[in-house]
Amino acid sequence: MTKIIVRPLIGAAEMEQAEDLQRAVWPGSETDIVPAHLLLTVASSGGLVIGALADDRLVGYVMGFLGTDDESPDRVAMARLKHCSHQVGVHPDYRGRGLSFELKRAQREALIRQGIRLATWTFDPLMSVNAYVNLHRLGAVCRTYKREVYGDMRDELNRGLPSDRFQVDWWITSNRVDSRIEGSRPPLDLANYLSAGAQKLNSAGLSDDGLPRPGAEVEEPKGNLVLVEIPPDFLEVKRADIGLADEWRTLTRSIFEGAFEAGYVATDFIYLKGEKYPRSYYVLSSGDSTLSG
């Protein structure tokens, strides 16, 4: 197997490879490509452009830039610095090898060297693979739901639905993140959370066509732990039935907005393979005290 090297990208030629990689990861919208000249500016101005290379071929990359945390706008910008992680993508031929995790690990190490404590980014909350990496493996948390962040998106992966997003907080020097990155603490599964009294807010049913359909009943959140079920493969749902995909968007938007407003925070994600059909759940915690500590 070809050895993959993860390192910062340098020079115009490697940034042009990053342009080509974006076309492979998010096909169908040339106007959404971050151009090489902007990537060069980001990399030379406090931002990070890190690549995964296989025999000098770029097969994955993560890019972000310095920004400010707006929760305390009365403080000077220097006291509110954070890293805005804008893109992470892996070539379709190299998915399933843990490259997204390794790219984010390298990003974290670089940010620690810069003295940055917080990184933020957005992702589609109905994408189970992304949720598992972001919350379960990286230790990011989410308390912010944003509707239609990017308007009508044009690439093949995102077009056709409202571009709702989670904005996650990644407190990169926290005990939570350190233990998740290093794997020093055994992960919790669905049985662990249920035995701790976690409440299922919704349940998915399986239709005759094999697609997960949102249940009709949604419970109001109570207690310290709640579970929110989403489709295990939302892209499959979207390809097969865009109307059903929109139902999932509408339902989960309502659940997450209500839970976040009530003070819950998304702190973990569970993916169960199952004998017949996989299941996916967000874990939301109330009064969690380890978000940035």
Give the pLDDT score at 289.
42
Going by C-alpha positions, the residue among 164, 163, 167, 134 that lies closest to residue 29 is 163
Looking at residues 200-208, what average pLDDT do you find? 92
By the 8 A CB rule, do 212 and 262 touch?
Answer: no
Tens digits of residue pLDDT in 8-62 = 999 999 999 999 999 999 988 788 899 999 999 999 999 999 999 999 999 999 9
Which pLDDT belongs to residue 39?
Answer: 98
Q: What pLDDT does residue 86 have?
A: 97
Cα 123 from Cα 149, distance rounded (Å): 10
User: Rounded to 5 degrees, what are φ and ψ at 86?
Assistant: -90, -40
Asked if residue 254 has pLDDT above 90, the reply is yes
Residue of higher predicted confidence among 128 and 184: 128
- What percent of the chain is modeled with pLDDT above 70? 97
Please provide the size of the chain in residues: 293
Task: State residue 154's pLDDT score.
Answer: 80
**165-171 and 4-8 beta bridge pairing:** unpaired
- What is residue 30's predicted lDDT score, i.e. its pLDDT? 83
CA distances from 19 to 61, 107, 223, 271, 279 (A): 10, 19, 47, 32, 35
* pLDDT digit string, tens, across residues 49-108: 999 999 999 999 999 999 998 777 788 888 889 999 999 999 999 999 999 999 999 999
Crossing angle for the helix pair 175-182 and 99-114, to the nearest 10 degrees: 140
**What is the structure's pLDDT at 286?**
94
Q: Which fold has domain 4-182?
A: Aminopeptidase (3.40.630)
What integer pLDDT is reported at residue 122 of this predicted model? Answer: 98
pLDDT digits (tens, 9 = 90+) for 136-160: 999 999 999 999 999 888 877 788 8
pLDDT band at 275 (very low <50, low <70, confident <90, very high): low
218 pLDDT more than 80:
yes
Residue 117's pLDDT band, with cuts at 50, 70 and 90, is: very high
Q: How far is CA 116 from CA 91, 110, 252, in A?
A: 28, 9, 32
Residues of the chain with CATH 3.40.630.30: 4-182
Name the token pair of 132: 């598992």
291 pLDDT tier (thresholds 50, 70, 90): low
